[in-house]
């Protein structure tokens, strides 16, 4: 559709220039251009009266085609609207694709986290697997943003986070500072 509008604009411009310079209507190219001009001008024919500018060479009148100029403006606006619509749709499709990629990445991360929790549960018989899963998905409201990694001496001491304890080793889960930070001391994760 967008390509069609560009072709229409080119035909309108050629017709406008040929009318303006009083091109010989018996020439083959001029006949072809006027035939195509008549097709694309059908919705706009007769809206404005053309302005006669005088007689050119070969007794052909030069005409300022106001209807042709108006059609060029309207088709140009339609082309801009289509271009904006296509750009908006492409942007939305990119957003959807990015969101799907993010969901896939989070699902893979959660599966990996659950796998690590299961491995840690197998290595530490004193801690139930359900408790490890609860710790791996602890919310920021439960932690309150303490420096859990730093207090425990965990894997990443520079990180201040909101309760995501997935990267702590099992030994750290039993540490009293970790229990205080996560708020799980009363759930049976005593060290």
Contact at 8 Å (CB) between 21 and 56? yes
Assigned token pair, 125: 């018989």
Contact at 8 Å (CB) between 13 and 72? yes
Rounded Cα distance between 130 and 117, Å, is: 9
Per the DSSP assignment, residues forming a β-bridge with 62 are: 54
**Quick one: which H or E segment has residue 54?**
strand 51-55
pLDDT score, position 189: 44
Question: Residue 9: which of 40, 49, 34 has the closest Cα?
Answer: 40
Residue with tokens 């439960």: 142
Question: Residue 30: which of 12, 42, 20, 18 has the closest Cα?
Answer: 18
Residue with tokens 């659950």: 114
pLDDT score, position 128: 55
Neighbours of 128 (CB within 10 A): 14
pLDDT score, position 4: 86
Which pLDDT tens digits describe the chain residue by residue (191 residues)? 778 888 999 999 999 999 888 888 888 999 999 999 999 998 888 888 888 877 766 677 788 888 999 999 999 999 999 999 999 999 999 999 999 999 999 999 999 999 998 888 888 665 555 555 555 554 433 444 444 444 444 444 444 444 454 444 444 455 555 555 544 444 444 44
Rounded Cα distance between 80 and 33, Å, is: 24
Domain range annotation of the chain: 1-123, 127-187
Assigned token pair, 21: 């310079």
């Amino acid at each position: 559709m967008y390509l069609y509008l560009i072709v229409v604009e080119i035909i309108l411009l050629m017709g406008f220039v040929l009318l303006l310079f009083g091109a010989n209507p018996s020439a083959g190219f001029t006949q072809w251009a006027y035939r195509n001009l008549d097709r694309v001008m059908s919705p706009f024919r007769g809206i404005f009266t053309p302005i006669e500018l005088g007689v050119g060479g070969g007794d052909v009148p030069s005409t300022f085609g106001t209807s042709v100029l108006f059609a060029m403006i309207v088709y140009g606006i339609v082309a801009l609207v289509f271009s904006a619509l296509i750009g908006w749709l492409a942007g939305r499709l990119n957003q959807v694709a990015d969101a799907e990629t993010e969901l896939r990445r989070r699902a893979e991360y959660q599966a990996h986290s659950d796998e690590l929790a299961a491995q840690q549960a197998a290595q530490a018989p004193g801690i139930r697997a359900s408790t490890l899963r609860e710790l791996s998905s602890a919310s920021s409201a439960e932690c309150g943003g303490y420096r859990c990694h730093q207090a425990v001496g965990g894997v990443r001491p520079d990180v201040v986070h909101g309760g995501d304890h997935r990267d702590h080793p099992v030994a750290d889960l039993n540490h009293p500072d970790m229990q205080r930070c996560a708020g799980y001391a009363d759930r049976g994760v005593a060290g």
